[in-house]
Amino acid sequence: MTIRVLHVVQSLDPAWGGIARVVPDLARRLSGVGVESTIATLTGGRYGQSPQIDGAAVRAFPASENRLGTSREFREAIGQLVDNADVVHLHGLWTDQNRVAGAAARRRGKPYIMTPHSMMMPWAWQRSWWKKRPIGWWFEHRNLRRATCLHALCASEAEQIRALGFNRRIETIPNGIDPGEYADLPPADELIRAHPQLAGRRWLLFMSRIHPQKGIAPLMQGCFDAAAALAGEWQLVIAGPDELGLRSRLEAAAARKGLAARVTFVGLLDRRQARAALGRAGLFVQPSLNEGLSMAILEALAAGVPVLISPYCNMPEVAQADAGRIVQPERRPIAAALRELLAMMDDDRRAMGRRGQQLIRERFSWDVVLPQYRGLYERIVSGTS
Answer whether residue 384 shows pLDDT above 90: no
| 3-class secondary structure per residue, the chain | CCEEEEEECCCCCHHHCHHHHHHHHHHHHHHHHCEEEEEEEEECHHHCCCCCCCCEEEEEEECCCCCCCCCHHHHHHHHHHHHCCCEEEEECCCCHHHHHHHHHHHHHCCCEEEECCCCCCHHHHHCCHHHHHHHHHHHHHHHHHHCCEEEECCHHHHHHHHHHCCCCCEEECCCCECHHHHCCCCCCHHHHHHCHHHCCCEEEEEECCCCHHHCHHHHHHHHHHCHHHHCCCEEEEEECCCCCCCHHHHHHHHHHCCCHHHEEEEECCCHHHHHHHHHHEEEEEECCCCCCCCHHHHHHHHCCCCEEECHHHCCCHHHHCCCEEECCCCHHHHHHHHHHHHHCCHHHHHHHHHHHHHHHHHHHEHHHHHHHHHHHHHHHHHCCC
Each residue of 117-134: pLDDT tens digit?
A: 999 999 999 998 899 999
Average pLDDT for the chain:
94
pLDDT band at 370 (very low <50, low <70, confident <90, very high): very high
Answer whether residue 5 shows pLDDT above 90: yes
Answer whether residue 276 shows pLDDT above 90: yes
Answer whether residue 217 shows pLDDT above 90: yes
- Would you say the CATH fold of 179-364 matches that of 3-176+365-382? yes
Domain covering 3-176+365-382: architecture: 3-Layer(aba) Sandwich (3.40)
Phi, psi of 201 (to 5 degrees): -105, 155
110-115 average pLDDT score = 98
pLDDT band at 50 (very low <50, low <70, confident <90, very high): confident
Q: What is the pLDDT of residue 292?
A: 86
Query: Chain centroid to CA 134: how far?
Result: 26
Domain boundaries, the chain: 3-176+365-382, 179-364
pTM for the model: 0.93
106-125 average pLDDT score = 96
Statement: 179-364 belongs to CATH 3.40.50.2000: yes
Each residue of 245-274: pLDDT tens digit?
A: 899 999 999 999 888 999 999 999 999 999
Cβ contact 337:325 at 8 Å:
yes
Answer whether residue 25 shows pLDDT above 70: yes
